[in-house]
Amino acid sequence: MVAETSQRTTPLELVQDIVSPLLKQPAPATQPAMGFFTDTSICIGCKACEVACKQWNELPAENAQWSGTSYDNTRQLSATTWRHVQFIEQIGREPPQVSTLPFLNNDRWLMHSDVCKHCANAPCQEACPTGAIIHTEFDTVYVQQDICNGCGYCVVACPFGVIARDEQGSHTARKCTLCYDRMKDGLEPACAKACPTDSIQYGEVEQLKAQARERLGLLHERGVSEARLYGVDDNILDGDLNSFFLLLDEPAVYNLPHNPSRPSNNVIPASWWSIATALVLSLLGIFFFSNNK
């Protein structure tokens, strides 16, 4: 952007105005990695996180559509929904999987506040051809809205179906920012602040992981054997997730992929096959054109 001035500037100042945005700025000081620990075992499905996120980020409401599946009418994360509460009704489960709560039936109602996983090795960031998607100084994954040109490659790269192109609004890719603006001012993200049960915890990733492991141990001790961590110690996408979860069933129940492959790992094998094909085709071409019979 060229700065507009009302007074006459010298030619040197004009050149400086044009060149300075192109020069590399000093990077912000590195901070400890921050993230989310979403503990679904204490989620009460109040959706305060969805509302707080919408309000803080000034996101529009989705078109109301009756899903018919429990209390979830949001259905998925989108370009303008960055927290999505899932409700899973498990009626008539098989007897052996007994929850420790001394009820007479095994029916459960699982609730899970889904969000961007802020992967340590984010496929969206690896795919982005403009450099719009970056890891911030807090090691969160952030889309710079003034750079993104809406190519949509991050959309197909994400194995969790998080990031999407905002077709109604900016036509750029949008997703949870982990309230980057709040973090810079030392505040916790809106969803974590609004959560009444502290199911969504915000803090330093290493600290949260320790808390999560402790919580998992406690649940296992009490007999909740199906409890598991997702994004901690399971090397998802070769590096764990900065926004991880404690789940009460297998990931597929929450539409989470068990062990998704990292898309950028496909580049090398696919390229080798392309090179091999290129060689074969070139040899074929050379053979037929050199043969003058």
Binding to other proteins, residues 42-71 (CB under 8 A): 67, 69
Q: Nearer Cβ to other proteins, position 235 or 266?
A: 266
Q: Nearer Cβ to other proteins, position 36 or 160?
A: 160
CA within 13 Å, CB half, 274: 6
Least distance (Å) between residue 160 CB and other proteins:
7
- Amino acid letter at 103? F
- For residue 148, state whether it binds other proteins (rule: CB under 8 A): yes
Tokens 């008539």 belong to which residue? 92
Q: Which distant-in-sequence residues (6+ apart) come within 8 Å of 152 by Cβ?
A: 165, 173
Size of the site for other proteins (CB under 8 A): 73
Q: 88-111 b/e with 16+ CB inside 10 Å = b?
A: beeeeeeeeeebeeeeeebebebb
Window of 180-188, 197-205, 219-227, 275-283 that interacts with other proteins by CB under 8 A: 275-283
- For residue 18, state whether it binds other proteins (rule: CB under 8 A): no
Q: Which of 163, 205, 208, 241 binds other proteins (CB under 8 A)?
A: 163
- 3 state DSSP class of 112: strand
Q: Nearer Cβ to other proteins, position 184 or 258?
A: 258
Give dist(CA 145, CA 262) in Å, integer.
Answer: 25
Least distance (Å) between residue 124 CB and other proteins:
10
Both tokens of 273, joined, read 């096959």
Q: Nearer Cβ to other proteins, position 95 or 288?
A: 288
Least distance (Å) between residue 110 CB and other proteins:
10
What is the greatest pairwise CA distance in the chain? 88
Tokens 């320790």 belong to which residue? 210
- For residue 248, state whether it binds other proteins (rule: CB under 8 A): no
Cα 205–Cα 88–Cα 93 angle in degrees, nearest 5 = 115
Both tokens of 278, joined, read 């290129």
Neighbouring CB atoms inside 10 A of 240's CB total: 20
Least distance (Å) between residue 249 CB and other proteins:
8
Q: Which distant-in-sequence residues (6+ apart) come within 8 Å of 220 by Cβ?
A: 227
Contact mark string toward other proteins, 252..271, x via CB under 8 A? xxxxxxxxxx-xx-xx-xxx
- For residue 97, state whether it binds other proteins (rule: CB under 8 A): no
Q: Nearer Cβ to other proteins, position 19 or 104?
A: 19
Contact mark string toward other proteins, 115..134, x via CB under 8 A? --------x--xxxxxxx--
